[in-house]
Structure 1
Amino acid sequence: MAASAVEKIEIDVPIKATPQQFFEVLCNKTHHISNVCPDVVKGIDLHEGDWGTEGSIISWNYVFGK
């Protein structure tokens, strides 16, 4: 059985959006984040639940330490 690791990652990404637009993408359209910063986020997959709902399980595929 594989062990999973949960860690905190921070990155500064310049965005051209209002706070409301950013919130909408981050909370309800998470799957679009890889379109916003494709050099860092390679993809986001929904494994269980629905986009934008509490308790959903998603995985982030990203480049770390570029």
Structure 2
Amino acid sequence: MGLKGKLTAQIELRAGGDVFHDLFRYTPHQIPNISPTTIQACDLHEGEWGTVGSVYTWKYTNDGKPQVAKEVIESIDEEKRSVTFKLIEGDLKELLKAFKVSFHVETHGDIDLVTWTLEYEKLNNDVEDPLTLLGFCIKLGKDIESHHLKAV
């Protein structure tokens, strides 16, 4: 088994891809209000909300365990409606040498699809692939969709 891996998941988003992208880009600190069982806090550590190089600290629950991650916004692409976060500190560093999470939104007719991509490098072969984190991203996307559909 290799130490490097990539996991992807794609979900249909009826609430609109712009809503999803704008939430993560400009107001991620609102996500705990939308999905409190998944993300409990998003704090700006340095920089400005929604800019490349800004550092966020996330408090979240994955697989029933409270965790913390400090991530830097590595890239933003308005055309692809994508954001990439790179892990720089946190609980995942105990298992992973490197970790990036990104999403992009594609529109096909009236349907918006959100594709999550997790890229990682495990510390050793005994570490399991982060499948629970992929499930975490899917749940988060569905929570955001539900919240925005109720608001409309």
Using structure 2 for the length normalisation, give the TM-score.
0.33
Note the C-alpha offset of 1:36. Answer: 1.2
The answer to which structure, 1 or 2, has the higher relative contact order (CA under 8 A, 6+ apart) is 2
Using structure 1 for the length normalisation, give the TM-score.
0.72
In structure 1, give the amino acid aligned to 2:35: C
Gaps of 5+ in 2: 1-7, 65-152
Aligned residues between the structures: 57
Gaps of 5+ in 1: 1-9
In structure 1, give the amino acid aligned to 2:23: V
Which stretches of structure 1, 4 residues or longer, exceed 6 Å deviation after superposition? none
Q: 1:34 to 1:16 in 2, by over 3 A?
A: farther
State the secondary structure of the residue aligned to 2:62. Answer: coil
Larger Rg: 2
State the secondary structure of the residue aligned to 1:17. Answer: coil
* Residue of structure 2 in register with 1:50 after alignment: 48
Q: 1:47 & 1:37 partners in 2: Cα distance?
A: 21
Alignment RMSD: 2.6
Residues 1:33 and 2:24 are matched in the alignment? no
In structure 1, give the amino acid aligned to 2:60: Y
* Residue of structure 1 in register with 2:21 after alignment: 23
